[in-house]
Amino acid sequence: MKIFGHRGASGYAPQNTISSVRLALDQGSDGVEIDVQLTKDNEVVVCHDWIIDNVSDGKGKVSDFALVEIKKNDFGSYFLEDFKGEKIPTLSEVLEFFPKDIILNIELKIKGKSRDLVAEKVADLLLFHERIENTIVSSFNHSSLKKIKKLIPEIKIAFLYKRCISTINKDISDFGMDIYSIHINAKCANKEIIKEIHNHNKKVYVWNSNDIETTKKLYDMEADGIMTDFPIDMKNALWKYITNKSKN
């Protein structure tokens, strides 16, 4: 089972920052998940929240800032003073250093009429940085996934689900394109739904698992991976669990 750092290693560093992504890599994560959305001048930045009030010293919507304006805010000290001066990264800045052999999961944050534009901008950056292999693009907005799949047919895409789902068969059938993985809420994960998704030959990634017991259960349910704020803790705990099981 793969361990993905959720928004980097966001339990130890400010989420979706360069420091957080680098830390997730340093901790040996199998993959890293980040969120992207557009600024006022249509630059792709790495940020989960629509407003920056809770993740920086600034206030307002990401979409109301031009890139040069939003870069003036401190995205680190809210988390810990050691991270003071951390800036919001662009997707391009992450792609410049992110290893090609590690999985990068990019979640498209879609709001209003930005659906196609977000997909187009991300596709352009992935092609420019030659970052197609070992990349998963996920979203709750399936239309945006269809758009990026048309632009880059070989890209891996993933359906995201917030609630417990009963329409997985219909969703896969109706989509009409190849889907790599289904990402489900940990509260909804059980052996039956994981088996059902596997029957469609799709990977199952679960978000978020931040406690050891849940991670163990998901391993036993045969989930393909988890997203976690604490990648090193979950990685070490899972290794111990698997090692002990093999001895029995």
- Residue 115 token pair: 């659906």
- For the question of whether the overall pTM of this predicted structure is more than 0.85, the answer is yes
pLDDT at position 209 is: 96
pLDDT at position 158 is: 98
Which own/partner pairs from 68-73 qualify as long-range (CB within 8 Å, at least 24 positions apart)?
69/40, 70/39, 70/45
- For residue 165, pLDDT over 80 is answered with no
- For residue 114, pLDDT over 80 is answered with no
Please identify every residue annotated as catalytic.
6, 48
pLDDT at position 112 is: 77
Q: Domain residue spans in the chain?
A: 182-248
| Arithmetic mean of pLDDT, 234-245 | 95
pLDDT at position 164 is: 83
Q: Which residue has the tokens 């059902």?
A: 196
CA–CA separation, 225 and 30 (whole Å):
9
